[in-house]
Amino acid sequence: MPRSHQRRAPLYHPEAEEIDLLDVLHALADPTRMTIVQTLWAEPERACGTFPVDVAPSTLSHHFKVLRESGVIRQRGEANRRLNELRREELQQRFPGVLDAVLAAAGPAEAASPEVAQVEAGQVGQGA
- pLDDT of residue 14 exceeding 90: yes
β strands within 10-89, DSSP E: 45-47, 73-78, 81-86
- pLDDT of residue 17 exceeding 80: yes
Instruction: Let me know: does 128 contact 86? Beta carbons within 8 Å.
Output: no
- pLDDT of residue 124 exceeding 70: no
Neighbours of 87 (CB within 10 A): 23
State the Cα–Cα distance between residues 23 and 45, nearest whole angstrom.
22
Residues 6+ apart with CB under 8 A from 110: 31, 32, 34, 35
Instruction: Let me know: does 47 contact 82? Beta carbons within 8 Å.
Output: yes
pLDDT tens track for 89-112: 999 999 999 999 999 999 876 543
State the Cα–Cα distance between residues 23 and 55, nearest whole angstrom.
22
pLDDT tens track for 74-89: 999 988 899 999 999 9
> For residue 40, what pLDDT is reported?
97
The percentage of the chain sitting over the pLDDT mark of 70, rounded to a whole number, equals 78
